[in-house]
Structure 1
Amino acid sequence: MTSAPRDTSRDRRIEDPTNLYLIHPAAHALLPLALRWRVSANAVSACGLVLGAAAAWLFYRWRLPGAATLGLAAGAAWLIADGLDGMVARATRTASALGRALDGMVDHGVFALLYVALAASLGTVEAWLLAVAAGIAHAVQSAVFEGERARFHRRVAGRGFVPYPPSSNPLVSLHNWVSTALDRRAAAFEKLLAASRNPARVGQDYGSRAAPVIRAMALLSANMRLLALWLACVLGNPRLFWWIELVPMTLILILTLSWHRRVEAMTVRLHRA
């Protein structure tokens, strides 16, 4: 069987070690099987949701010996499926706005299940309130993180900001609006890139400066959240996970966003000089 082409959609400079050495290699190893069996990207996303639900059930039982670690393993399988669906879509040229929105909804859905499972396992009003607050913080952090990553890849390739085409699907429209909100805030850099006679050079210059920022922002990734959740359960206090999202991760978001905007401003000044 012919091996699947190496996925080049991700810049290794901004990936955390769990993606580089576990999640992405495992997804790539499964890609030939998915293509051979003609499994669609949306079907892979659905399998990921099932795996995420299994992780939530195991974390619900976090007091049992080994349950949290099994939950971590099921969560890692979900993350592999989350990477695989995009690989399948690109390899089969079946990427779509609906598939992109579905992938995002599955990601949020899995964590919603995890929060519900943990809050139910604790069974207190305080736990439910913490779960809701952390869930809101997570939704904002995750949307910004994924938007910044996509923006980085687009710019490094020398492509300017192009609005998504209008969609009659309200979920797709909402996803597109949220994911491009910061593109609209970075107007000065986007104008520079669009007007440049050599956008590839501008993108490469920007990429060398911005890569450390986006790599630091990977502390907001689903991988890191899953590890934080596992550690909190192993330590016997799942509430720690929600407080990590509410305080340290919010600070990381603010600091890295500010850092990224400074990188953009510096790049604009240098190329206009």
Structure 2
Amino acid sequence: MREALALYERALLVTERLGDGAPAATRISIHAARCNLFYGVEEYARSRAEADALLAFARATNNRALEAAALALGAWAAVWMEVFDEGVAAASEAIRLGTEAGFLPPVGGGFLCTGTVHAITGRHNEADAELARALAVSQEVHDFNRQGQARFMIGALRNWHGRYAEGLDVAAEGARVAREYRLVVPLIRCLWAEGVSRAGLGDYEGALGALREGLALAEKSGDEAYLARILGLRRWLRALRARSRDRAREPRRHRARASRLHANQRGRQLHGAR
């Protein structure tokens, strides 16, 4: 992702030199890509700045659909900056404008933002409802990136409540879709949620397998934050697996010890009989 950001930085400089001669679609695609990439490497302030640049362009050209899209992107960055009030306000406006314009991707993005804020701030019933709406809209418009993000959040929410089997179903499907469409950021996050779900179910080998795939992607893409999270969880899981194996061996040790005691006792009895 860092290499891609460097390429887009050069492309942005070219469009700035061209000024009004740069095609509008090119400028939009560069800012949108940089917004998503900065989110992927967890530079949320810079992600939001790119969304703000899109928003300014949308309002200058009276492009309501683009305005809704920019608001949804900026809201998502604001949520992860923990500026919740601003994130929810922008998301709500994205939902309104997207609905009015008949452009649904930012509507799904808006519900993803509000649902995530509800989840983080403990309003889990509201989070369930809004994340479900985010997923439904994203599926309707084939927005596979937000499908993955929604499934990550739903899976995480299920795990928080100890509903690991449900969390696994949601996260594994999110990982499958993200893998199919080569969406690195939601794939890493869904693999993380899948690892937590499998660990909660006692499937330590399956959990470590999911984390292994996520770790390779995080290393390759430069996602340092999730790299650290995955490494920490992997250490914990390996310790749990070791303790589980020790407990599994304990009955065998007891049986072997009992067998030896029995054999020794029987030997003494036979020796006494002779």
TM-score by length of 1: 0.28
The structure showing larger relative contact order (alpha-carbon pairs under 8 Å, at least 6 residues apart) is: 1
TM-score by length of 2: 0.28
Give the number of the structure whose alpha-carbon radius of gyration is greater: 2
Q: Counting helix residues as a fraction of each chain, which structure ranks higher?
A: 2
